[in-house]
Amino acid sequence: MSLATTYSPTDVEAKWYQRWQEQGFFKASPNPAKEPYTIVIPPPNVTGVLHMGHMLNNTIQDVLIRRARMQGKEACWVPGTDHASIATEAKVVALLKEQGIEKKDLTREQFLEHAFAWKDKYGGIILEQLKQLGASCDWDRTRFTMEPDLTEAVLKVFVDLYRKGLIYRGVRMVNWDPQGGTAISDEEVIPKNVTAKMYHLRYEIVGQPGEYLTVATSRPETIMADVAVAVNPTDERFKNLAGKKVRIPLLGREIPVIFDEYVSVDFGTGALKVTPAHDLNDYNLGVKHNLEVIDILNDNGTLNEKAVLYVGQDRFAARRNIVADLESAGLLAKIEEYASIVQTSERTKAVIEPKLSLQWFLKMEHLAKPALDVVENDTVKLHPAKFKNTYRVWMENVRDWCISRQLWWGQQIPAYYLPDGSFVVALTPAEALEQAREQSGNASLQLSDLRQDEDVLDTWFSSWLWSISVFDGFKDPNNADISYFYPTNDLVTGPDILFFWVARMIMAGLEFRQEIPFKNVYLTGIVRDAQGRKMSKQLGNSPDPLDLIAQFGADGVRTGMLFSAPAGNDLLYDEKLVEQGRNFCNKLWNAFRLISGWQVDETLPFANEKAVTWFGSKLADAVTTLDDHFEKFRISDALMTVYKLTWDDFCANYLEMIKPAYQQPIDAETLRQTKAYLESLLKLLHPFMPFITEELWHELAARDARDYVTVAAWPQPAPVADSADIIAGMDQALAVVQGIRTVRNQKSLGPNKPLQLIAKTDEQSLFTAYEGIIRKLGGLSELSFAETGLAGAVSFVQGGSEFFIPLEGHIDLAAERVKLEKELEYTQGFHKATSAKLSNEKFVANAKPDLVERERQKLADAEAKIAALEAALKGL
């Protein structure tokens, strides 16, 4: 047969993916005769396109699901997308603006028509891209967090938790995203290190003209919302201010000076402006001291009429203007710069405003305790386990979850308001009307009299139900899918959503099914560039994954990503890794080309029993090691195990051992065993490299219609008698071969020049047993044994044996002697200089210890080299 000299991914990837789908290999259904293995995909946002993090995460999932499928399990990988309330609404609003349409001019229903049209057009892009990566999801099971059944599940859960007293509505300080126009949860807030400014402002003391209390603030634009200035009662500087008031700069409004132990004596000026509407700690102080609340900010971050000054200006523009006016009025004492942290919105990147807002909240303490217990006792295992500490800290300090969002794209909260302002919570409008009539005692109430809450639920309130809702576990808690596939087995995700999603899914599983949602959580690292920066399109440091696939092939990219991707540790991406993945594909391709080019002679006796038995032992050991790595979620180590088995043991050593001489046939038994070994390697490699392994599987032998490597049986360890001794013996033989090759390289002898090897050893029987392999791989004309060394030969030591290669006739001995003598002279001079430096007591006493240690190491290295050169000269 004729094969291309190099592997061409574009010729095979689309072909095999289509055939896998046509054969239905990725489909899963309840099968009592088989063990289920289930993964639910972390649903990417419908706004998303494939990035490097997706590549890593989904490659790992695919490796796990393909191996499980080969193990004979009913492997079910559920795909889907998340509606991503904030991000998607922003995309749709921007698109409408381009068309000259403002959201405010649309009804909710009209806006949702546009949003669903956008989702239908763009929302499935990332799933199609995952197919190019080779993701073997059951695409018939694709779900969307806002599809009707999943929306109904969300509403059922809301109603259930409300009736349990776990959901409530109230005014609380929330994280407000002025750009998104919505509240967001604590977990959606990203801290950003910045250099901030501290403004020292003069508040005039009422009744003491010309005397001021200096207050430090980083947000001078909020002084119009001040209701007090607080100082510590133990601070001697302010004892004279008891009962006093001060005037807000520029505004002139009088506010009291209050005393509270909360105020730090050492921070700033020791005097704290109290703005309850715009700071959580200030809000708590305000409650304690019964202070007024003045909210001066609109939802979009502009100042409202309560500010009196700078009304309508953006908060940051107002800051610039008020600082200039304070300076002109002589009320700005100074400005200092300091390192600070600004809280930003994960989605819009806008600076968060703490804001008092009427929102819906979910009490978390009841849900968090059991979800912490199952991780602490390893009912749910985190990989790596170091994340248990992070998980524990968050769960022990959990705060109530703000679940309402001021958006239209999402599940609308099922709360209905009566004309008197009271409300009912119900799954449907009809149920709401029935409850409202009963609650109000007014049987004549109509649906038109009720107003549904305008807010939608946080996107995560959908996705925390994902592992149940994708199997319709809320629609029918006992249906065949949920009963068979739940709890799922492994979840693969990033540590950045350990609380966003993982913890909440555990809470949901325990609350609604009294069962954990998954048994293992594999936490991937973050893909970073060589400088350690997180890869992103904004930084311009991230390659396009599809371009990488086009250039290197999906298998090359998959293996390249996994070569250095230990669980929980960040991956420093280097394109050389992907090149290495492509080269590995070519190595495997060429190994097959070599084997397929051999002619077989059925009359020849079995000539390679020792090599065949050795590789069988190596294969059995590798399968055991590989399974252990998978069991412990060491996916990168698993890949390296089969990589070394294939590249080093099979290609570099085994095939060279058995390769017939030029234009000579191979015996039938060796070829049969070799093809069987290659078939086993294709199976072991398939989860990592699905496309090339499927191509070679079908090239290797004629296959039945359903005989694909993707559903072939995963290899089982096949112990070989005396395998430890066989491997140890071959290791020694290969070490001798490496010694010969080193001499060839050092003496520029080339691989094809026949050499003699003379062994001085107590293990003559061992080397006699492996003589054929040593001679073949070492390119020897003769292997003999002697009691003593040999003059005119170069030597090397392996274990307790010494080996000599006569150089006469291969090199110019006189020239070699001159070369060695010059090198010896130079090394002796270096040794003398280094020794003199170390004999200098002042140097040893004054130099840094690590410098002295380096000099001592140089001396030891020189002594070793001198001994080796003298021995080489003696040999000549």
Residues in binding site for ATP:
537
Joined together, the tokens standing for residue 731 give 């290791």
Distance (Å, whole) CA 616 – CA 319: 75
How many CB atoms sit inside 10 A of residue 406's CB?
16
Residue ranges at the known binding site: 537
Strand-strand pairing, 271-274 and 228-231: antiparallel
First to last CA, the chain: 51
How many CB atoms sit inside 10 A of residue 539's CB?
11
Q: Residue 48: what residue type?
A: G
- Which residues have a Cβ under 8 Å from the Cβ of 745 and sit 6 or more positions away? none
Spatial CA neighbour of 179 closest among 358, 348, 344, 303: 348
* Contact indicator for 185, 458 with CB cutoff of 8 Å: yes
Q: How far is CA 735 from CA 40, 588, 649, 745, in A?
A: 47, 24, 13, 15
Joined together, the tokens standing for residue 246 give 């001060």
Distance (Å, whole) CA 400 – CA 187: 11
Q: How far is CA 782 from CA 774, 775, 811, in A?
A: 10, 7, 18
DSSP assignment string, 533-547: PBP-TTTT----HHH
Spatial CA neighbour of 797 closest among 875, 856, 857: 875
* Contact indicator for 876, 792 with CB cutoff of 8 Å: yes
Joined together, the tokens standing for residue 652 give 């570099």
Q: Is the dihedral of CA 379, 380, 383, 388 positive or negative?
A: negative
Q: Residue 510: what residue type?
A: L
Spatial CA neighbour of 247 closest among 236, 258, 239, 256: 256
DSSP assignment string, 795-809: EEEETTEEEEEE-BT
Q: Is the dihedral of CA 780, 782, 783, 785 positive or negative?
A: negative
Distance (Å, whole) CA 276 – CA 354: 10
- Which residues have a Cβ under 8 Å from the Cβ of 147 and sit 6 or more positions away? none
Distance (Å, whole) CA 388 – CA 495: 11
In this structure, what DSSP letter does residue 679 have? H
Using only C-alpha atoms, the chain has a radius of gyration, in whole angstroms, of 37
